[in-house]
């Protein structure tokens, strides 16, 4: 990790660890790094895990020490709002995994998304946002950015380098999400970033679906990478957390923006995220394997119109996914054939292994009916109900048996 002068004194407790000396054959990517990054056992009496450090007041041993901490870019060691050793352990680990300059943690994924945008925009700016963006981010743009006289324009997620036609002199940010929320379009991030940077705009990416293990935003030109750590990083559906990582160009803005809004996450949730990091690679491989198996199996069911999963060879985004991504997560979309409300009720009543609930990325499988997503560029035409599926860590064959049984019952309910 490249340390910046603005990083806090407490980062000395979490020394950067370079694993670039590992042989090129080191695979799968990230396993060893996940086990070691963000740890400083010597600083905590040999404890394997960085402990939960709670606190608001941080005392200085002398007036000279107190004064030395009052640097314009380094107020961190003077108050708990700027983080404890637990915070810094997590932030340094994420920065190393992402390949960015530095990271900052937020109390939710949406907070990370919105504050990453707020860090770079100002009154009178123009912002381009993917039309397939996460719904709450879209709401923030429409409600908050518009009220601040920041013009929001949505673009086709498949635009690629042609986004140059939408970039204006006052375009300050391009917000990408790949694959897209609910509909899973894969964007050509490198082509979009190249054009955005020609206009001196910042590129912000929601990288929650792939996590740092399966997509490297900074290698594709992203300036700020955002993740809902609630999902795969925490991995156990028991904490809310977000994290944003920036390159050297964007880090001063991101750091200052977070400080200005006073955002801080609790150390207990951060500890759960650190715990989740250690098993992320193992879990994500299982999520990928089960998700691809389930998506492929469902694609042939008589009640299914389409499966939305970029790792499947027939998916429209597969070529870019195969070129740019290291792997896939367990989240994908399912478009059913026309189905009555009663049949949908039968489907979900029959499911035993899939919960109905928001979020995803935990060990449990989920199936959620979703309304047709909002679109500005062109309306979506779906054959039937849209479901969001998360493949958990259960046996893939058990999940297939459970879901196919539910679909069979729903299909029969409509008299087929």
Interatomic CA distance for residues 179 and 168, integer angstroms = 25
Q: Looking at the predicted structure, is the pLDDT value of residue 27 above 90?
A: no
Which of these is catalytic: 39, 138, 172, 231?
A: 231
Query: In this predicted structure, what is the pLDDT of residue 67?
Result: 81
Q: Looking at the predicted structure, is the pLDDT value of residue 17 above 60?
A: no
Q: Looking at the predicted structure, is the pLDDT value of residue 274 above 90?
A: yes
Which of these is catalytic: 54, 70, 81, 168?
A: 81
Which of these is catalytic: 206, 223, 315, 324?
A: 206
Q: What is the pLDDT of residues 78-119, one digit of tens each?
A: 777 888 889 999 999 999 999 999 999 999 999 999 999 999
Side-chain half-sphere exposure of 160, counting CA atoms within 13 A: 3
Query: In this predicted structure, what is the pLDDT of residue 47?
Result: 74
pLDDT higher at 2 or 221: 221
Query: In this predicted structure, what is the pLDDT of residue 40?
Result: 75
Q: Looking at the predicted structure, is the pLDDT value of residue 45 above 80?
A: no
Q: Looking at the predicted structure, is the pLDDT value of residue 135 above 50?
A: yes
Q: At what angle do helices 280-298 and 396-413 cross, to 10 degrees?
A: 30
Q: What is the pLDDT of residues 225-246, one digit of tens each?
A: 999 999 999 999 999 999 999 9
Query: In this predicted structure, what is the pLDDT of residue 404?
Result: 98
Average pLDDT of the residues in 374-379? 92
CATH 3.40.640.10 for domain 9-280, yes or no, is yes
Closest among 74, 44, 77 to 58, alpha carbons compared: 77
Query: In this predicted structure, what is the pLDDT of residue 13?
Result: 37
Which of these is catalytic: 39, 88, 131, 134?
A: 134
Check if the beta carbon of residue 304 is closer than 8 Å to that of residue 336. yes
Check if the beta carbon of residue 389 is closer than 8 Å to that of residue 406. no
Where b means 16+ CB within 10 Å and e means fewer, 54-74 reads: eeeeeeeeeeeeeeebeeeeb
Concatenate the DSSP letters of all residues of 83-132 into one string. Answer: --HHHHHHHHHHHHHHT-SEEEEESSHHHHHHHHHHHH--TT-EEEEETT
Task: Examine domains 9-280 and 281-413 and report if their fold is the same.
Answer: no
Active site residue 231: yes
Paired tokens of 272? 């759960």
| Mean pLDDT taken over the chain | 90
Q: What is the pLDDT of residues 287-338, one digit of tens each?
A: 999 999 999 999 999 999 999 999 999 999 999 999 999 999 999 999 999 9
Average pLDDT of the residues in 57-65? 85
Active site residue 81: yes
Residue linked to tokens 């939305």? 308
Active site residue 206: yes
Phi and psi torsions of 353, nearest 5°: -105, -10
**What's the whole-model pTM score?**
0.89
The CATH fold assigned to 281-413 is 3.90.1150
Q: Where are the domains of the chain?
A: 9-280, 281-413
Query: In this predicted structure, what is the pLDDT of residue 12?
Result: 36
């Amino acid at each position: 990790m490249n340390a910046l002068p603005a990083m806090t004194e407490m980062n000395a407790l979490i020394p950067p660890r370079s694993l670039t000396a590992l042989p090129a054959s080191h695979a799968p990517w990230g396993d060893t790094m996940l086990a070691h990054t963000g740890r400083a056992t010597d600083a905590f009496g040999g404890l394997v895990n960085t402990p939960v450090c709670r606190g608001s007041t941080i005392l200085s041993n002398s007036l000279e020490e107190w004064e030395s901490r009052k640097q314009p870019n380094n107020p961190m060691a003077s108050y708990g709002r700027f983080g404890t050793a637990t915070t810094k352990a997590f932030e340094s680990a994420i920065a190393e995994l992402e390949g960015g300059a530095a990271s900052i943690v937020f109390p939710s994924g949406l907070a990370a998304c919105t504050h990453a945008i707020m860090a770079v925009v100002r009154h009178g700016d123009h912002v381009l946002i993917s039309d397939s963006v996460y719904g709450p981010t879209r709401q923030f743009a429409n409600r908050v950015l518009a009220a601040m006289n920041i013009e929001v324009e949505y673009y086709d997620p498949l635009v690629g380098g042609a986004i140059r036609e939408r970039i204006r002199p006052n375009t300050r940010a391009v917000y990408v999400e790949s694959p897209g929320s609910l509909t899973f379009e894969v964007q050509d991030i490198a082509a979009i970033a190249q054009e955005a940077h020609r206009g001196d705009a910042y590129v912000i990416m929601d990288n929650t679906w792939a996590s740092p293990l399966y997509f490297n935003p900074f290698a594709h030109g992203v300036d700020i990478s955002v993740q809902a750590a609630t999902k795969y990083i925490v991995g156990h559906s028991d904490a809310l957390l977000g994290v944003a990582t920036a390159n050297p160009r964007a880090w001063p803005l991101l750091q200052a923006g977070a400080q200005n809004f006073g955002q801080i996450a609790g150390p207990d949730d951060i500890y759960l995220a650190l715990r989740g990091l250690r098993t992320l690679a193992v879990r994500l491989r299982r999520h990928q394997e089960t998700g691809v198996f389930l998506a492929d199996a469902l694609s042939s069911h008589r009640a299914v119109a389409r499966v939305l999963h970029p790792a499947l060879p027939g998916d429209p985004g597969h070529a870019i996914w195969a070129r740019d991504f290291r792997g896939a997560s367990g989240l994908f979309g399912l478009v059913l054939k026309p189905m009555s409300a009663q049949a949908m009720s039968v489907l979900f009543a029959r499911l035993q292994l899939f919960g109905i609930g928001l979020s995803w990325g935990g060990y449990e499988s989920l199936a959620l009916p979703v309304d047709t997503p909002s679109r500005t560029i062109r309306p979506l035409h779906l054959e039937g109900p849209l479901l969001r599926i998360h493949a958990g860590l259960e046996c893939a064959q058990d999940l297939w048996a459970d879901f196919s049984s539910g679909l069979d019952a729903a299909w029969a309910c409509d008299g087929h």
